[in-house]
């Protein structure tokens, strides 16, 4: 394989061999669909941790948006002749393990996980989407679109960490833990699903670019920590 350092090689799209019929597309839709269902139940549970009605409503609204995204992915899979429940079940163990290992114990930890942890998964899938045909990439981007509630999370966390250095230290440590677990679980998931690996390699510009891909995840994670006042 030749280096991708020249201008011509950088401009050459790595997606020319990736079509909408690639077997990894169904797998990508399936893991995203299960992620949306899992997020719905998690956010519904965590809404009970909110200290006031405003927080419960905001978290419940985010949960409702997850189900809208799930329905989009379900429809996309069904249009491809794939049963969504059967396809999703292959990813249940990996995603539930991540959530088990990152169970928040406080309302603020739940908010940080919603803003930072979930966004890391979105970064990975959006990078894969860049290698896909438009009709497939559009589904992925729509399913991962902002729900309009992120500013609520930022405001709540920033207010808390501004008022308490102890909270800032605790939540900064929690954010770093979320990043580490997300990367570890993503690697486990990819190790078991070759079709997703192929899509990721295409999106990252080749196997040699995977290290820079994970560096980009770190950079976006660091940016989100700054937005929350945790760095």
Q: Which domains occur in the chain, in start order?
A: 22-227 (1.20.1260.10)
| Residues comprising the chain, all counted | 231
Question: Tens digit of pLDDT for each residue in 24-52?
Answer: 899 999 999 999 999 999 999 999 999 99
The label of the residue with tokens 């799930």 reads 70
Question: Tens digit of pLDDT for each residue in 126-170?
Answer: 877 877 888 999 999 998 886 556 788 899 999 999 999 999 999
Predicted TM-score of the model (pTM): 0.83
SS (H, E, C) 62-81: HHHHHHHHHHHHHHHHHHCC
Contact 61, 147 (CB under 8 A): yes
- CB atoms closer than 10 angstroms to residue 139: 23
The label of the residue with tokens 């991962």 reads 144
Nearest partner of 156 among 67, 40, 70, 62, judged by Cα = 62
Strands (E), the chain: none
Write phi, then psi, for 21 (nearest 5 degrees): -90, 0
């Amino acid at each position: 394989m030749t280096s991708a350092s020249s201008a011509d090689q950088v401009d050459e799209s790595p997606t020319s061999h990736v079509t909408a019929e690639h077997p990894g597309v169904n797998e990508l839709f399936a893991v995203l669909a299960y992620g949306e269902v899992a997020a719905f139940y998690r956010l519904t549970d965590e809404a009970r941790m909110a200290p006031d009605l405003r927080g419960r409503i905001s978290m419940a609204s985010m949960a409702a948006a997850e189900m809208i995204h799930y329905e989009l992915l379900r429809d996309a899979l069904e249009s491809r002749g794939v049963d969504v429940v059967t396809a999703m079940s292959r990813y249940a163990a990996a995603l539930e393990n991540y959530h088990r290992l990152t169970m928040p114990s406080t309302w603020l930890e739940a908010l940080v996980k919603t803003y930072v942890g979930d966004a890391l998964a979105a970064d990975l899938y959006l990078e894969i989407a860049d290698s896909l045909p438009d009709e497939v990439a559009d589904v992925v981007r729509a399913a991962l679109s902002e729900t309009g509630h992120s500013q609520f999370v930022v405001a709540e966390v920033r207010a808390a960490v501004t008022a308490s250095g102890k909270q800032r230290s605790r939540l900064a440590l929690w954010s770093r833990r979320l990043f580490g677990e997300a990367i570890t679980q993503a690697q486990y998931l990819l190790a078991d699903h070759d079709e997703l690996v192929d899509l990721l390699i295409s999106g990252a510009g080749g196997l040699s670019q995977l290290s820079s891909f994970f560096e980009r995840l770190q950079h976006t994670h660091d940016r989100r920590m700054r937005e929350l006042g945790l760095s």
